[in-house]
Structure 1
Amino acid sequence: MIESYPVMKEAEPFYIPGNDVGVLVQHGFTGTTQSMRELGEHLAQCGFTVYGPRLKGHGTHYKEMEGTTYEDWIASSEAGYLMLREKCSRVFVVGLSMGGTLALHLAHKYPETRGIVLINAALFMEELEKVAQMEEPRFLDAIGSDIKAPGVKELAYEKTPLKSVRELVKFMAATKKKVPSISCPALIFVSTEDHVVPPSNSHYIHDYLPTNDKRLAELHDSYHVATLDNDKEIIKGETEKFIRRLAEPVSKR
């Protein structure tokens, strides 16, 4: 599918070269790289090689998103992962919301993934599953920008295609089945108050991941888009520590 709309300002993919530890940072459903850029830039300042892909159909216009499938979103994610794997000896995957779902998918498909960092990852959303059964309207009101911090806004679509909701529901269901066979270390951030993805998603992931190297970190002062919210410094610091611990030794390229 050739995209017909220009990419929004701040929604562009970003690549910051560094050492041979690669970090893929992935935005969520209807969102853009704007939600992950600050975290990505922090990780790049730590010396890591960082890539933030723009998922197909995102960051342009919601009518364009309507023409994409979850396989397209996976393809965008995998292309970024494989690019980092070519350049780096170790790859970590960080994801917000559906970006976390994509991180789980990658960790399952590529068991050599060194570690995953999930931020309010999505696997099941009862309300959305009900919406997916509807026949109309074609476009729903947006679900983005659930942020507690005053004056902070996520760059995301103002409408959500019903067809895309159905794709997300299918993708979450398929990924949920894979969780018990994902073996890499995991840092799981969960906002205790989230108006988009119920916190029970993160608890489920923590309970069913078979690895012993996993930690559930609660965020008490942020809503769904925690990477832009009051706890963003906690996310930066803990993610950096997690990657540094598992990435040693780091060699320069």
Structure 2
Amino acid sequence: MDSPSSTDITAAITGSLAEERHGGPHKEHAVILLHGLCGSLLELGSIPKQLKKVGCAVIPMTIDNYSASLTNPRVSPNWEDWCAAVESKVARLREEFKTVSICGLSMGATLALAVASRSNELLSVVLLSPVLQYDGWSVPWYQNLLKVVYDAGIRNWSYKESEPYGIKNFDMRRRVANALEKDGVAAVGAASIPARHLRAAQRMMAYVRESLPMVRANTLIIHSIDDETASPKNAEIILQAISSEVRKVIWLGDCYHIITVDNEREIVTNETVMFIKRGIDLHGNELSRKYLAHSSPLKDRRQ
């Protein structure tokens, strides 16, 4: 499969931003996109473009002290501010659109879960490589010492991204490495993540682990069995703990953590779009049934 070009990605993002301004072709269905911690919209690959093709208004979000372009390593962010930004966006979109869904990657998926646990306004959530804890095979042993080091006051450091950058595809990995060296950001996110942001993410993960039963929106989880950042256990815990009537998990066998740009990216995109579209269709059918059930019976005009 060919890797998505920078032109395709830029076009998808530009089109997505236009959709946000104009409300989409039918102003009926909106999908919020959340990238990973200190990442960018490049991480979402071809998902924005394909969602737009099926008639969804695509709403990519950048968040203060969460997105790479708005990150200040000297600021200690509060994960609840990240959550509040998304909740506010959901509330505004619900005034314009019939349904609102969220698709998040990595920590963006965790953020989507945090919002879904506190909101009944979401139709569907798509969780791509969700993280409840950093327990993948490439996570260094000293990762668990982050809290101790941070709480001891040592906070002016960053975690630097390294091989394999969440990507199994060798050619794509090489391009990512070059982009990180040149620009400091690539399709996998930023070249480094500040300690303050990692600590905020840890606190959000702890909240989400306790709040999973509050999630009731339709939920799709797509996770690699070889995820080097978050083991399959993360997806299994979510699947078992949430209260969603509609829940589905898809396991991938030929990619690492950043599944949106790796070897099975087409599967990820297609399954994401189909799940959201199916949720919209089911929602429409449910509204029709409710309307018929509560409509007044026709009068017999023969009398």
Question: Normalising by structure 2, what TM-score?
Answer: 0.72
Separation in 2, partners of 1:61, 1:87: 27
Which of 146, 159, 176 is 2:166 aligned to?
146
> 5 Å matches for 1:86-105?
86-105=95-114
Q: Deviations for 1:3-23, whole angstroms, at most 9, x for unmatched residues?
A: xxxxxx96x894322331111
Separation in 1, partners of 2:92, 2:256: 32
* In the alignment, structure 1 residue 23 sits paired with structure 2 residue 31: yes
* In the alignment, structure 1 residue 230 sits paired with structure 2 residue 263: yes
1:37/1:52 contact within 8 Å kept: no
Report how far residue 64 of structure 1 moved. Answer: 4.3
Q: Percent identity?
A: 24
Report how far residue 192 of structure 1 moved. Answer: 0.8
Separation in 1, partners of 2:245, 2:80: 30
Which of 219, 233, 237 is 1:204 aligned to?
237
Q: Which sits farther off after the overlay, 96-105 or 155-164?
A: 155-164
* In the alignment, structure 1 residue 111 sits paired with structure 2 residue 144: no
Which residue pairs with 1:36 in the alignment?
Answer: 44
Separation in 2, partners of 1:124, 1:147: 19
**CA separation of 1:138/1:64 partners in 2, compared to 1, >3 Å: closer, same or farther?**
closer
Which of 240, 247, 253 is 2:280 aligned to?
247
> Aligned residues, how many?
241
1:94/1:103 contact within 8 Å kept: yes
1:132/1:162 contact within 8 Å kept: no
**CA separation of 1:53/1:247 partners in 2, compared to 1, >3 Å: closer, same or farther?**
same
Q: Which sits farther off after the overlay, 78-87 or 157-166?
A: 78-87
Which residue pairs with 1:122 in the alignment?
Answer: 131
The structure carrying a bigger helix percent of its residues is 2
Q: Which sits farther off after the overlay, 81-90 or 120-129?
A: 120-129
**CA separation of 1:39/1:244 partners in 2, compared to 1, >3 Å: closer, same or farther?**
same
Report how far residue 74 of structure 1 moved. Answer: 1.7
Which of 198, 211, 218 is 2:251 aligned to?
218
Which residue pairs with 2:213 in the alignment?
Answer: 180
Report how far residue 210 of structure 1 moved. Answer: 2.2
Q: Which sits farther off after the overlay, 54-63 or 96-105?
A: 54-63
**CA separation of 1:40/1:71 partners in 2, compared to 1, >3 Å: closer, same or farther?**
same
Consecutive unaligned residues of structure 1, counting only runs of 5 or more, are 1-8
Which of 146, 164, 177 is 1:131 aligned to?
146
In structure 1, give the amino acid aligned to 2:100.
V
2:213/2:243 contact within 8 Å kept: yes
Which residue pairs with 1:84 in the alignment?
Answer: 93
In structure 2, give the amino acid aligned to 1:142.
K
SS at 1:138 equivalent: coil
**CA separation of 1:141/1:106 partners in 2, compared to 1, >3 Å: closer, same or farther?**
closer
Separation in 2, partners of 1:86, 1:129: 43
SS at 2:126 equivalent: strand
In structure 2, give the amino acid aligned to 1:75.
A
1:56/1:73 contact within 8 Å kept: yes
SS at 2:69 equivalent: coil
